[in-house]
Copies of this chain bind each other. A is one copy, B any other.
Amino acid sequence: MSGEFEERAGGLRERKKQRTRWALIDTALDLFLAKGYEATTIDEIVAAVDVSQRTFFRYFAGKEDVALSFLAEYDQILITVLAERPPAEPPIVALRAALHVSLGAVQDSDEEHTARFRKLRRLIDGTPPLAAGQLRRFFETEQKLATIMARRMGAGLADMRPYLLVASFLTVVRVAFDGCARDEVIDPAAVVLRVEELVALAIETLPGAWSAG
């Protein structure tokens, strides 16, 4: 399911919008890969899709956004699932479960969507603005997850422990993605595997590494 959005055909208008949206995304990704991110202009993208530049900026917040926006879906899954986890569950277990569902959605993507993941992954390495953008997305998700976690843990506003836990958890996930980039692991299934492996490694080694202080 490359997106539960264009499936629910809300009408011709909505369908058309989704079509341009994905056309812009795919064209942008291809151009970015072919000529480089910075060397590609918005004008080239919109010319290829045959829409006006103004329309581009009605769909996306900026050049960076056209490449990264479709990842937001998975952040949302993470947030939603964590919020619905049983409150009695240990925090780290709940986080891991939410991550598992989110990564599962990545793995269940159709061919088209998998191709986008691959392209984006190859693209982000060696494109600092995109790497920075992804970093920002992680941070935004962290804020939302931390709020949910604080409620789960019944923590007061001054209690930093939920923030600490969520932030360090997402950091592990991010490090896993970075590692995949470094080792040129681009297949979504392989990436997913590696993320969960690193979370397991973190659970195994982090307590010891931190408690030596």
Contacts and interface: CB of A to CB of B under 8 A. Distances in A.
Interface of A: 90-93, 96, 132, 135-136, 139, 158, 160-161, 163-165, 167-168, 171-172, 174-176, 178-179, 183, 198, 201-203, 205-213
28 contacts: A92-B212, A92-B213, A93-B212, A132-B132, A132-B136, A132-B139, A135-B139, A160-B198, A160-B201, A161-B201, A161-B209, A163-B175, A163-B179, A164-B172, A164-B202, A164-B209, A165-B206, A165-B210, A167-B174, A167-B175, A168-B168, A168-B202, A168-B210, A171-B171, A203-B213, A207-B207, A207-B208, A207-B211
Contact of A179 (B160, B207, B213): B160
What is the oligomeric copy number? 2
Contacts of A209: 91-92, 161, 164-165
Given A172-B164, A198-B160, A201-B164, A93 B178 contact: no
A79 to B, nearest CB: 18
Given A171-B168, A171-B171, A175-B167, A96 B213 contact: yes
Contacts of A163: 175, 178-179
Mostly, the A contact residues are helix
A138 to B, nearest CB: 9
B201 A210 contact: no
A212 B90 contact: yes
Contacts of A183: 158
Nearest to A205: B161
A211 B90 CA distance: 10
Given A161-B209, A206-B206, 11 more contacts: A91-B212, A132-B139, A135-B136, A160-B175, A160-B198, A160-B201, A164-B172, A167-B175, A168-B168, A168-B206, A171-B171
A92 B135 CA distance: 24
A176 to B, nearest CB: 8
